Amino acid sequence: MSSNEDVIPDGYDRRPVPQSETVSGVGLALITLGIGMTLPVFWLGADVTQKVGFSNALLVFIGVCGLLGVLCALTATVGVRTRLSTYMVLQFSFGRHGAKLINLTMAVTLLGFYAATADIFGSTVASAVHSAWGIETPAWLHCLWGSLLMTLMAIYGLRGLDRLSIWSVPLMAAFMLFALYLGVQRAAPGQLGGFAGSGDSLALAVASTIGMVILTPVLMPDFTRYARTGKDALIAILGMVLGFPFVLSVGGALSVITGQSEIMLVMAALGVLLPALAVLVFSTWITNTANLYSATLTLATVSRAPSWKLTVAGSLVATGLAVGGFMSHFLDFVMTLSIVIPPLASIYVADFFVVRKQRYDLDELARSRGFGWPALVSWALASGVAWMTSFEGWSLSSQPTLDSLLVALLAYLLLYRFAPVTLAAPPHPQR
């Protein structure tokens, strides 16, 4: 009998992806588009639109994803040029041991998204089954079988996700366009443009949208390390830059037209409940597979256990959170992400392009110091500044995420330049 290592493909957790394993940019763009085509993103689009109005929400969605697209282009380039996962990339700036702290933070973040998606998946399927056939089923049961599908695909790896996305994501996009068409047909003249919302803070709408989207730019090397060329890597980011605003806007528009925020109630109002249920299964499968796949890559830098075991362990923890009702804390979770996650991208982009001149050598990690203190201090400082501007009334740029990106960038370059030599690993191998 073959071992698990013979059956389960190599995820290249700790080494560069070979050119023979690369894929097209279109395939990667479909994966990132599929990540956005999910329940929490649809839900947030509806929530933000109900709070700030449709016109303002549309500007927020397009503006946030466009600006983060610039960051995404940089992180995508790091991925295609190093062929390393985000978590291996982080070790060059944060140190071998320091990166473990960051990786555990990222693992918690990814498993939190997994839990929220599985939670809302279970309740939504239960709602759909009741609406369609009048059968009462427990939400936790649907959460469990959905999580099993997602875990199996995550074990199979990115190749399986790529194959699934190539045909399912266009189908989902077409269905959402069809649902939007049905909604627009029902809308009263001027209903969307005239919807002003409840008048909540525009800054909070921006922060929550950033928190929802920010993981994609930060984790882009996980996907673009598989890109054939630099051009393919840039094509891959279109799934985020164009895809996320599309899903957010559709969620917002349909919530205004139908007066509902929960996706199955929206689809029931449009008369497409059962097709929506089928699309829901595929979209959530792709998104949560990507979440669990990235979480596995994170844990692989902390533990030497086989990837499939890490995947199963992560799934069990996140599914437990989902059954426990994690979705009730989701908005607070997203707001926290908009503070602590962006500085990571600033730091490793600055390290790759400025400090190490685009030269990453895995042999260097074995000789480097365990903790990259300039990076760790910069991350803590930037997160602290963003926290203060978010909750304590301070004001720099008026956007905590932008504050954290800029503070992390400047602090890292300054600390690396002026820190004592004992605190910073040399940028290139000593000879």
The rounded distance, in Å, linking the Cα atoms of 202 and 407 is 23
Domain assignment present for residue 82? The answer is yes
CATH of residue 322's domain is 1.10.4160.10
What's the whole-model pTM score?
Answer: 0.85
Residue corresponding to tokens 């994690």: 326
- The whole-angstrom separation of Cα 91 and Cα 213 is 23
- Pull the structure tokens for residue 81: 């040029």
Q: Is 365 within a domain?
A: no
- Contact (CB, 8 A) for 50 and 331: no
CB 129 within 8 A of CB 285: no
The pLDDT, as a whole number, for residue 6 is 35
Contact 368, 425 (CB under 8 A): yes
Q: How far apart are CA 326 and CA 336, in angstroms?
A: 15
What gap in Å lies between CA 5 and CA 308, rounded to an integer? 9
Tell me which DSSP letter residue 23 carries: B
Indicate whether 315 belongs to any domain.
yes
Which has the closest alpha carbon to 415: 93, 40, 45?
Answer: 93
Q: Is 259 exposed, middle or buried (0-12, 13-18, 19+ CB in 10 A)?
A: exposed
Q: 394 in a domain, yes or no?
A: no
Residue 243 lies in a domain: yes
Residue 45 near residue 61 (C-beta atoms within 8 A): yes
Residues whose CB falls within 8 Å of the CB of residue 306, separated by 6 or more in sequence, listed in order: 4, 5, 8
Amino acid at the residue 21: E
5 within 8 A of 306, measured Cβ to Cβ: yes
- Note the Cα 423 to chain centre separation in Å: 32
Number of domains in the chain: 1
Residue 165: per-residue pLDDT: 64
Q: Name 110's Cβ contacts closer than 8 Å, sequence gap at least 6.
A: 215, 291, 292, 294, 295, 298
H helices of 53-97, in order, are 54-82, 86-94
Mean pLDDT of successive 10-residue segments in the chain (431 residues)? 37 84 90 83 93 96 96 97 90 90 88 91 88 90 92 73 70 90 93 91 90 92 94 96 96 94 86 85 78 82 85 95 89 87 95 93 81 94 87 70 91 85 48 40
Q: How far does CA 14 lie from the centroid of its chain? A: 21
β-pair partners for 227: 23
Q: Report the SS3 class of residue 281.
A: helix
- Whether 370 is in a domain gets the answer no
Range of the structural domain that residue 311 is part of = 20-328
List the Cα angle 133/35/41 in 5-degree steps.
Answer: 65
Q: According to the model, what pLDDT value does residue 12 have? A: 79
Kindly state whether residue 2 falls inside one of the protein's structural domains. no
How confident is the model at residue 252, as a pLDDT? 96
Long-range contacts of 99-106 (CB under 8 A, 24+ apart): 99/301, 99/372, 100/301, 100/302, 101/376, 102/344, 102/379, 103/298, 103/299, 103/301, 103/302, 104/298, 104/302, 105/340, 106/219, 106/294, 106/295, 106/298, 106/341, 106/344
Residue 83 maps to a domain: yes
CA dihedral sign, ordered 178, 183, 189, 191: negative
Beta carbons within 10 angstroms of residue 393's beta carbon: 7
